[in-house]
Amino acid sequence: MTAEQNSNREQIEFWNGPAAESWVASQERMDQLLAELSDRAIARAAPQPAEAVLDIGCGCGGTSLTMAEYGARVTGVDISEPMLAHARARSAGNELLEFIAADASNHPFNTRYDLAFSRFGVMFFANPQQAFTHIHSALQDHGRLCFICWQSPRDNPWLSVPGGAAQPFLPEPESPPDPKAPGPFAFADPAYVQDILDQAGFINIAIEPCTADMRLGGDVEEAVAFLLRNGPMSRVLADLEEDARNKALDAVREAIAPYAEDSGIVLSGACWIASANRG
Ligand SMILES: C[S@@+](CC[C@H](N)C(=O)[O-])C[C@H]1O[C@@H](n2cnc3c(N)ncnc32)[C@H](O)[C@@H]1O
Protein backbone atom coordinates (compact mmCIF):
# COMPACT_ATOMS: atom_id res chain seq x y z
CA MET A 1 0.00 0.00 0.00
CA THR A 2 1.22 3.50 -0.78
CA ALA A 3 1.21 6.12 2.01
CA GLU A 4 -1.83 7.71 0.35
CA GLN A 5 -3.79 4.42 0.22
CA ASN A 6 -2.80 3.88 3.84
CA SER A 7 -4.09 7.26 4.91
CA ASN A 8 -7.50 7.88 6.45
CA ARG A 9 -7.60 11.36 4.84
CA GLU A 10 -10.85 10.68 2.96
CA GLN A 11 -12.58 9.52 6.13
CA ILE A 12 -11.22 12.49 8.09
CA GLU A 13 -12.76 14.81 5.48
CA PHE A 14 -16.01 12.87 5.45
CA TRP A 15 -16.44 12.82 9.24
CA ASN A 16 -15.71 16.55 9.52
CA GLY A 17 -18.24 17.51 6.84
CA PRO A 18 -22.03 17.24 6.51
CA ALA A 19 -22.03 13.67 7.91
CA ALA A 20 -20.82 15.00 11.27
CA GLU A 21 -23.52 17.70 11.29
CA SER A 22 -26.19 15.04 10.69
CA TRP A 23 -24.82 12.79 13.44
CA VAL A 24 -24.73 15.67 15.93
CA ALA A 25 -28.24 16.82 14.98
CA SER A 26 -29.58 13.23 15.20
CA GLN A 27 -27.57 12.13 18.24
CA GLU A 28 -30.62 11.42 20.40
CA ARG A 29 -32.37 9.51 17.60
CA MET A 30 -29.22 7.53 16.78
CA ASP A 31 -28.65 6.60 20.42
CA GLN A 32 -32.28 5.40 20.62
CA LEU A 33 -32.04 3.48 17.34
CA LEU A 34 -28.82 1.75 18.41
CA ALA A 35 -29.71 1.29 22.10
CA GLU A 36 -30.46 -2.44 22.04
CA LEU A 37 -27.37 -3.30 19.97
CA SER A 38 -25.27 -0.95 22.05
CA ASP A 39 -26.40 -2.46 25.37
CA ARG A 40 -25.59 -5.96 24.15
CA ALA A 41 -22.12 -4.95 22.95
CA ILE A 42 -21.33 -3.14 26.20
CA ALA A 43 -22.62 -6.11 28.24
CA ARG A 44 -20.25 -8.35 26.23
CA ALA A 45 -17.36 -5.91 26.81
CA ALA A 46 -18.23 -5.75 30.54
CA PRO A 47 -16.33 -2.57 31.53
CA GLN A 48 -15.32 -2.68 35.20
CA PRO A 49 -15.00 0.15 37.74
CA ALA A 50 -11.64 1.97 37.43
CA GLU A 51 -10.67 0.14 34.22
CA ALA A 52 -9.06 2.25 31.50
CA VAL A 53 -11.25 1.99 28.41
CA LEU A 54 -10.60 3.27 24.89
CA ASP A 55 -13.81 4.00 22.95
CA ILE A 56 -12.69 3.93 19.30
CA GLY A 57 -14.62 6.17 16.90
CA CYS A 58 -16.68 7.35 19.89
CA GLY A 59 -18.52 9.95 17.79
CA CYS A 60 -20.96 11.93 19.95
CA GLY A 61 -19.91 9.96 23.03
CA GLY A 62 -23.03 7.89 23.79
CA THR A 63 -21.16 4.65 24.54
CA SER A 64 -18.38 6.51 26.38
CA LEU A 65 -20.98 7.97 28.75
CA THR A 66 -22.60 4.56 29.28
CA MET A 67 -19.28 2.88 30.06
CA ALA A 68 -18.44 5.67 32.53
CA GLU A 69 -21.71 4.78 34.30
CA TYR A 70 -20.08 1.39 34.98
CA GLY A 71 -17.29 3.31 36.77
CA ALA A 72 -14.73 2.86 33.97
CA ARG A 73 -12.33 5.69 33.04
CA VAL A 74 -13.09 6.21 29.38
CA THR A 75 -11.03 7.87 26.66
CA GLY A 76 -13.10 8.52 23.56
CA VAL A 77 -11.01 8.86 20.41
CA ASP A 78 -12.38 10.15 17.13
CA ILE A 79 -11.33 12.01 13.97
CA SER A 80 -14.51 14.14 13.90
CA GLU A 81 -14.10 17.51 15.61
CA PRO A 82 -17.84 18.39 15.54
CA MET A 83 -18.85 15.03 17.03
CA LEU A 84 -16.15 15.32 19.70
CA ALA A 85 -17.32 18.84 20.59
CA HIS A 86 -20.80 17.40 21.12
CA ALA A 87 -19.41 14.51 23.21
CA ARG A 88 -17.45 16.96 25.40
CA ALA A 89 -20.52 19.16 25.91
CA ARG A 90 -22.65 16.16 26.92
CA SER A 91 -20.09 14.93 29.43
CA ALA A 92 -18.91 18.25 30.91
CA GLY A 93 -17.90 17.82 34.55
CA ASN A 94 -17.67 14.00 34.37
CA GLU A 95 -14.13 13.25 35.51
CA LEU A 96 -14.27 9.67 34.26
CA LEU A 97 -14.35 10.88 30.66
CA GLU A 98 -11.89 12.47 28.26
CA PHE A 99 -12.06 12.86 24.51
CA ILE A 100 -9.14 13.11 22.12
CA ALA A 101 -9.13 14.14 18.48
CA ALA A 102 -6.91 11.57 16.80
CA ASP A 103 -6.76 8.79 14.25
CA ALA A 104 -7.10 5.61 16.34
CA SER A 105 -5.16 3.62 13.73
CA ASN A 106 -1.85 5.31 14.51
CA HIS A 107 -2.20 7.69 17.48
CA PRO A 108 0.59 7.20 20.07
CA PHE A 109 -1.70 6.67 23.08
CA ASN A 110 0.01 7.51 26.37
CA THR A 111 -1.97 4.92 28.36
CA ARG A 112 -2.26 1.17 27.89
CA TYR A 113 -5.91 0.25 28.10
CA ASP A 114 -7.71 -2.64 29.79
CA LEU A 115 -10.43 -2.58 27.14
CA ALA A 116 -10.67 -1.26 23.60
CA PHE A 117 -14.32 -0.91 22.63
CA SER A 118 -16.17 0.38 19.59
CA ARG A 119 -19.76 0.81 18.46
CA PHE A 120 -19.60 0.96 14.67
CA GLY A 121 -16.34 2.95 14.67
CA VAL A 122 -13.75 0.46 13.38
CA MET A 123 -14.93 -0.24 9.81
CA PHE A 124 -13.49 2.95 8.33
CA PHE A 125 -9.74 2.28 8.43
CA ALA A 126 -7.91 2.43 5.07
CA ASN A 127 -5.57 -0.26 6.38
CA PRO A 128 -7.46 -2.30 9.01
CA GLN A 129 -4.55 -4.71 9.51
CA GLN A 130 -2.21 -1.93 10.51
CA ALA A 131 -4.94 -0.26 12.61
CA PHE A 132 -5.71 -3.38 14.66
CA THR A 133 -2.03 -4.15 15.14
CA HIS A 134 -1.72 -0.64 16.57
CA ILE A 135 -4.83 -1.06 18.78
CA HIS A 136 -3.38 -4.38 20.00
CA SER A 137 -0.24 -2.53 21.09
CA ALA A 138 -2.34 0.06 22.98
CA LEU A 139 -3.74 -2.65 25.28
CA GLN A 140 -2.39 -3.95 28.58
CA ASP A 141 -1.05 -7.52 28.43
CA HIS A 142 -4.32 -8.74 29.98
CA GLY A 143 -6.35 -6.32 27.83
CA ARG A 144 -9.36 -7.17 25.71
CA LEU A 145 -11.12 -5.91 22.60
CA CYS A 146 -14.84 -5.77 21.90
CA PHE A 147 -16.63 -4.09 19.03
CA ILE A 148 -19.92 -4.20 17.17
CA CYS A 149 -20.07 -3.91 13.38
CA TRP A 150 -22.75 -4.45 10.72
CA GLN A 151 -23.45 -7.67 8.88
CA SER A 152 -24.03 -7.31 5.11
CA PRO A 153 -26.70 -4.93 3.74
CA ARG A 154 -28.81 -7.92 2.61
CA ASP A 155 -28.95 -9.07 6.26
CA ASN A 156 -30.05 -5.58 7.31
CA PRO A 157 -33.57 -5.03 5.95
CA TRP A 158 -33.75 -1.65 7.74
CA LEU A 159 -31.26 -0.51 5.06
CA SER A 160 -31.76 -2.97 2.20
CA VAL A 161 -35.55 -2.53 1.96
CA PRO A 162 -35.45 1.27 1.47
CA GLY A 163 -32.12 1.00 -0.40
CA GLY A 164 -33.50 -1.62 -2.82
CA ALA A 165 -36.59 0.53 -3.50
CA ALA A 166 -34.45 3.58 -4.32
CA GLN A 167 -31.98 1.59 -6.43
CA PRO A 168 -33.71 1.92 -9.86
CA PHE A 169 -33.50 5.72 -9.58
CA LEU A 170 -29.78 5.83 -8.74
CA PRO A 171 -26.98 6.18 -11.29
CA GLU A 172 -25.04 3.01 -12.16
CA PRO A 173 -21.73 2.92 -10.24
CA GLU A 174 -18.68 3.36 -12.52
CA SER A 175 -17.15 0.17 -11.14
CA PRO A 176 -18.53 -2.53 -8.85
CA PRO A 177 -18.14 -1.36 -5.25
CA ASP A 178 -15.41 -3.06 -3.18
CA PRO A 179 -17.28 -4.70 -0.25
CA LYS A 180 -14.20 -4.29 1.98
CA ALA A 181 -13.62 -0.60 1.21
CA PRO A 182 -13.80 1.62 4.34
CA GLY A 183 -17.47 2.06 5.19
CA PRO A 184 -20.28 0.72 7.36
CA PHE A 185 -20.24 -2.78 5.79
CA ALA A 186 -16.47 -3.32 5.46
CA PHE A 187 -16.56 -5.94 8.27
CA ALA A 188 -19.62 -7.84 7.05
CA ASP A 189 -17.56 -11.00 6.41
CA PRO A 190 -16.68 -12.57 9.79
CA ALA A 191 -13.85 -14.65 8.29
CA TYR A 192 -12.19 -11.42 7.12
CA VAL A 193 -12.53 -9.87 10.60
CA GLN A 194 -11.22 -13.05 12.24
CA ASP A 195 -8.18 -12.98 9.96
CA ILE A 196 -7.42 -9.29 10.69
CA LEU A 197 -7.62 -9.82 14.46
CA ASP A 198 -5.59 -13.01 14.26
CA GLN A 199 -2.86 -11.33 12.19
CA ALA A 200 -2.85 -8.39 14.63
CA GLY A 201 -1.93 -10.81 17.44
CA PHE A 202 -5.28 -11.18 19.22
CA ILE A 203 -6.29 -14.53 20.75
CA ASN A 204 -9.60 -16.06 21.90
CA ILE A 205 -11.35 -14.35 18.99
CA ALA A 206 -15.14 -14.73 18.95
CA ILE A 207 -17.46 -13.21 16.36
CA GLU A 208 -21.07 -13.62 17.40
CA PRO A 209 -24.26 -12.59 15.61
CA CYS A 210 -26.52 -10.02 17.22
CA THR A 211 -29.88 -8.88 15.82
CA ALA A 212 -32.36 -6.22 16.89
CA ASP A 213 -35.48 -4.41 15.77
CA MET A 214 -34.67 -1.06 14.23
CA ARG A 215 -37.41 1.56 14.65
CA LEU A 216 -36.84 4.06 11.85
CA GLY A 217 -39.55 6.47 12.95
CA GLY A 218 -43.05 6.83 14.33
CA ASP A 219 -44.54 6.77 10.82
CA VAL A 220 -43.45 6.58 7.17
CA GLU A 221 -42.65 10.30 6.87
CA GLU A 222 -40.53 10.30 10.03
CA ALA A 223 -38.69 7.21 8.79
CA VAL A 224 -38.01 8.80 5.38
CA ALA A 225 -36.76 11.99 7.04
CA PHE A 226 -34.40 9.88 9.14
CA LEU A 227 -33.06 7.94 6.14
CA LEU A 228 -32.56 11.19 4.24
CA ARG A 229 -30.48 12.61 7.04
CA ASN A 230 -28.50 9.58 8.23
CA GLY A 231 -26.60 6.63 6.90
CA PRO A 232 -25.51 5.33 3.50
CA MET A 233 -28.74 6.28 1.68
CA SER A 234 -28.56 9.94 2.63
CA ARG A 235 -25.28 10.39 0.72
CA VAL A 236 -26.64 8.89 -2.48
CA LEU A 237 -30.04 10.59 -2.37
CA ALA A 238 -28.48 14.00 -1.73
CA ASP A 239 -26.70 13.82 -5.10
CA LEU A 240 -29.84 13.00 -7.16
CA GLU A 241 -31.73 15.49 -9.35
CA GLU A 242 -34.97 16.60 -7.68
CA ASP A 243 -37.23 14.54 -9.97
CA ALA A 244 -35.25 11.32 -9.47
CA ARG A 245 -35.03 11.98 -5.74
CA ASN A 246 -38.81 12.43 -5.45
CA LYS A 247 -39.43 9.19 -7.37
CA ALA A 248 -36.88 7.35 -5.24
CA LEU A 249 -38.49 8.66 -2.05
CA ASP A 250 -41.98 7.60 -3.22
CA ALA A 251 -40.61 4.12 -3.88
CA VAL A 252 -39.03 4.09 -0.40
CA ARG A 253 -42.35 5.16 1.20
CA GLU A 254 -44.16 2.32 -0.57
CA ALA A 255 -41.50 -0.24 0.41
CA ILE A 256 -41.40 0.60 4.12
CA ALA A 257 -45.14 1.17 4.67
CA PRO A 258 -45.84 -2.58 5.19
CA TYR A 259 -43.43 -2.52 8.16
CA ALA A 260 -45.70 -0.25 10.22
CA GLU A 261 -46.34 -1.55 13.74
CA ASP A 262 -48.02 0.08 16.73
CA SER A 263 -44.65 1.55 17.76
CA GLY A 264 -43.78 2.85 14.27
CA ILE A 265 -41.82 1.63 11.23
CA VAL A 266 -39.76 -1.34 12.41
CA LEU A 267 -37.36 -3.48 10.34
CA SER A 268 -34.65 -5.83 11.51
CA GLY A 269 -30.93 -5.16 11.80
CA ALA A 270 -28.03 -7.62 12.08
CA CYS A 271 -24.52 -7.12 13.47
CA TRP A 272 -21.47 -9.01 14.64
CA ILE A 273 -20.08 -8.58 18.12
CA ALA A 274 -16.37 -9.30 17.91
CA SER A 275 -14.36 -9.93 21.06
CA ALA A 276 -10.78 -11.00 21.70
CA ASN A 277 -7.94 -10.92 24.18
CA ARG A 278 -4.61 -9.23 23.61
CA GLY A 279 -2.80 -12.47 24.36
C1 LIG B 1 -20.75 5.27 12.33
S2 LIG B 1 -19.96 6.47 13.34
C3 LIG B 1 -20.21 5.77 14.97
C4 LIG B 1 -20.06 6.79 16.05
C5 LIG B 1 -20.32 6.27 17.48
N6 LIG B 1 -19.42 5.18 17.83
C7 LIG B 1 -21.76 5.82 17.64
O8 LIG B 1 -22.03 4.62 17.60
O9 LIG B 1 -22.63 6.71 17.79
C10 LIG B 1 -18.25 6.12 13.03
C11 LIG B 1 -17.30 6.96 13.84
O12 LIG B 1 -15.96 6.48 13.62
C13 LIG B 1 -15.12 7.61 13.55
N14 LIG B 1 -13.86 7.22 12.87
C15 LIG B 1 -13.70 6.81 11.59
N16 LIG B 1 -12.41 6.55 11.33
C17 LIG B 1 -11.72 6.79 12.48
C18 LIG B 1 -10.35 6.70 12.85
N19 LIG B 1 -9.40 6.34 11.97
N20 LIG B 1 -9.98 7.03 14.13
C21 LIG B 1 -10.93 7.43 15.02
N22 LIG B 1 -12.25 7.52 14.72
C23 LIG B 1 -12.64 7.21 13.47
C24 LIG B 1 -15.94 8.63 12.79
O25 LIG B 1 -15.46 9.95 12.93
C26 LIG B 1 -17.30 8.42 13.44
O27 LIG B 1 -17.47 9.21 14.58
- Render pLDDT for 22-74 as a digit per residue (tens, 0 to 9): 999 999 999 999 999 999 999 999 999 999 999 999 999 999 999 999 999 99
Residues with CB under 6 A from ligand 1: 8, 11, 15, 30, 34, 57-60, 62-63, 77-80, 83, 103-105, 119-121, 124-125
Q: How far is CA 116 from CA 25, 63, 147, 270, in A?
A: 27, 12, 8, 22
Closest residue (by CA) to atom 19 of ligand 1? 103
Spatial separation of the C-alpha atoms in residues 77 and 61, rounded to whole Å: 9
Q: Which of 191, 185, 227, 183 is nearest to 207 (CA)?
A: 191
Q: Is the pLDDT of residue 232 over 80?
A: no
Q: 244 in a domain, yes or no?
A: no
Domain count, the chain: 1
Q: Which of 189, 150, 122 is nearest to 271 (CA)?
A: 150
Confidence of residue 231 (pLDDT cuts 50, 70, 90): confident
CATH of the domain at 116: 3.40.50.150
DSSP letter for 172, please. Answer: P
| Residues of the domain holding 200 | 3-152+180-213+270-277
Closest residue (by CA) to atom 1 of ligand 1? 120
Q: Is the pLDDT of residue 147 over 80?
A: yes
Q: Is the pLDDT of residue 2 over 60?
A: no
The structure's pTM equals 0.95
Closest residue (by CA) to atom 8 of ligand 1? 119
Distance of CA 173 to the CA centre of its chain: 24
Q: Is the pLDDT of residue 17 over 60?
A: yes
pLDDT, position 134: 98
Q: 35 in a domain, yes or no?
A: yes
Q: Count how many residues are written for the chain.
A: 279
Q: 219 in a domain, yes or no?
A: no
The ligand 1 atom at the shortest distance from the C-alpha of residue 131 is 19
Confidence of residue 233 (pLDDT cuts 50, 70, 90): confident
Please check whether residue 131 is in contact with residue 270, taking contact to mean a CB–CB distance below 8 angstroms.
Answer: no
Q: 64 in a domain, yes or no?
A: yes
